[in-house]
A and B are shown apart, each in its own frame.
Chain A
Amino acid sequence: MSAWDLFTLAAVAAGAFFFLAGTVGLLRFPDVFTRLHALTKADNLGLGLIVLGLLPRAEGVFGALKLVAVWLLALLAAATVAQLVARLARREGDAGA
Chain B
Amino acid sequence: MTALYLLDLVLVPAILLAACTAVGTRDRFAAVVSFIVYGLLLAIAWVRLGAVDVALAEAAIGAGLTGVLLLGALARMGRRADEAAAAGPPGRTLRLGAAALGAAVAAGIAAAVLALPEPAPQLSGAVAEALPALGLGNPVTGVLLAFRGYDTLLEAVVLLLALLGIWSLAPDPAWGGLPGLRHRARPEGVLAWLGRLLPPVGIVVGLYVFWVGADRPGGAFQAGTILAAVWILAVMSALVEPPAVRSLALRLALVAGPALFLAVGFAGLGLAGAFLGYPAAAGWAKPLILLVEAGLTLSIAATLALLVAGTPERAAG
Point out residues on A near B: beta carbons under 8 Å. 73, 76, 79-80, 83-84
A–B Cβ pairs within 8 angstroms, 5 of them: A76-B198, A79-B190, A80-B191, A80-B194, A84-B190
**Contact indicator per residue, chain B 160-193, by CB within 8 Å of chain A (1) or not (0):** 0000000000000000000000000000001101
Is B191 within 8 A of A76, CB to CB? no
CB of B190 within 8 A of CB of A83, answer yes
SS of B interface (majority):
helix
B263 proximal to A (CB < 8 A): no
**Once the chains bind, are B191 and A84 in contact (CB under 8 Å)?**
yes
- Name B201-218 residues within 8 Å CB distance of A: 201
A97 to chain B minimum Cβ distance, whole angstroms, is 10
A80 near B201 (CB under 8 angstroms)? no
A76/B197 in contact, CB under 8 A: yes
Binding site for A on B (CB under 8 A): 190-191, 193-194, 197-198, 201
The interface residues of chain A lying within 8 Å CB-to-CB of B201 are 73
Q: Which of A73, A79, A80 is most buried by chain B, counting CB atoms within 10 A of its CB?
A: A80
A84 / chain B contacts, CB cutoff of 8 Å? 190-191
In Å, the complex CA distance between A33 and B126 comes to 56
- Within the complex, the shortest CB–CB distance from B148 to chain A, in Å, comes to 30
Residues of A within 8 A of B198 (CB): 76
Task: Tell me the bound Cα distance from A80 to B193 in angstroms.
Answer: 9
Task: Find chain B residues with CB under 8 A from A80 CB.
Answer: 190-191, 193-194
Residue of A nearest to B186 (CB): A87
Nearest CB of B to A95, in Å: 15
Which residues does chain A contribute within 8 Å of B193, judged by CB atoms? 80
Smallest CB–CB gap between B113 and chain A, Å? Answer: 32
A80–B198 alpha-carbon span in the complex (Å): 11
The distance in angstroms between the C-alpha atoms of A46 and B191, with both chains bound, is: 25
Closest to A79 in B: B190
Closest to A97 in B: B27
Chain A residues with Cβ below 8 Å from B191 are: 80, 84
Question: Which residues of the partner chain B approach A76 to less than 8 Å between Cβ atoms?
Answer: 194, 197-198
Give Cα A72–Cα B198 distance, bound, in whole angstroms. 11
Residue of B nearest to A77 (CB): B194
